[in-house]
Structure 1
Amino acid sequence: MADIETISYSLAEMKDKYIGKAGSVDREDYEYELKMDVLGQMIRTARKERNLTQEQLGQLVGVQKAQISKLESSVNSASIDTILKVFKALNANIYFNVILENQHLKLV
């Protein structure tokens, strides 16, 4: 029986190899999409914790149920104003971190 060599890679190494090195356009696009997906999941989770339907949340925000559904699946097409309204309707705090080269700004 032949020995099987095991090779393991870190997540960062896998991203570098299959998506692109950090700072590349493909990697930046990937990281952005990932963050938008996570934000949509956070909206869905907070809505469910508040026992609200998409329609009810839409009424609180002033948008249609379809817009809430789109937000939960991907917030790419949403304005920051809509996202802020959604979190306000959910009684949830949202914090922004802005990182400029060698500087960290925090807006609370």
Structure 2
Amino acid sequence: MATKELRKTTLAEMKDKYIGKEGTTERDAYEYELKMEVLGKMIKTARKERNLTQEQLGKLVGVQKSQISKLESSANSATVDTILKVFKALKAEINFHVKMEDNFIKLA
């Protein structure tokens, strides 16, 4: 009986197989949703560390509690301006980095 060598599959390989290769529409959409989900969780964590309710944070930002709830569950419907206002109200720093060829552009 021949023994098969067990090979570990990487996360990148799994994504390629089940979602699509990097650069495909499906993969780009997946990566975007994942980043927005992480951003939402970061907002929620920062809010809780500041001992604020969604309603209190909404008042600081100038939006309704429901908008904060939507941000925390998935930030993909928020504008960059709103996200920056939320982090400013939380007294938290957020940085965006854009890489153009070999140069980084930083928006803080």
TM over 0.5: yes
- SS state at 1:40 partner: helix
2:76 alignment partner AA: N
Distance of 1:52 and 1:21 partners within structure 2: 41
Provide the rounded CA distance (Å) in 2 between the counterparts of 1:40 and 1:107. 19
Secondary structure at 2:105's aligned position in 1? strand
Q: Establish whether residue 42 from structure 1 lines up as the match of residue 42 from structure 2.
A: yes
| Alignment partner, residue 78 of structure 2 | 78
Aligned 1:86-105 pairs, distance under 5 A: 86-105=86-105
Distance in 1, Cα, partners of 2:34 & 2:70: 15
Runs (5+) with no aligned partner, structure 1: none
CA RMSD of aligned residues (A): 1.8
Structure 1 distance, partners of 2:85, 2:21, is: 35
Residue 38 of structure 1, CA deviation = 0.3
Q: 2-side partners of 1:59 and 1:106: how far apart?
A: 29
CA drift of 1:79 comes to: 1.1
> What secondary structure sits across from 1:104 in the alignment?
strand
Cα deviations across residues 4-40 of structure 1 (Å, max 9, x unaligned)? 8644200000000000001111111100000000000
Matches of 1:20 and 1:73 in 2, distance apart? 25
In structure 2, stretches of 5+ residues that fail to align are none
Paired-residue identity, %: 70
Aligned residues: 108
Counting only pairs closer than 5 Å after superposition, residues 19-38 of structure 1 correspond to structure 2 as: 19-38=19-38
1:79-107 CA-partner distances (Å, limit 9, x unpaired): 11111110000000010100123432223
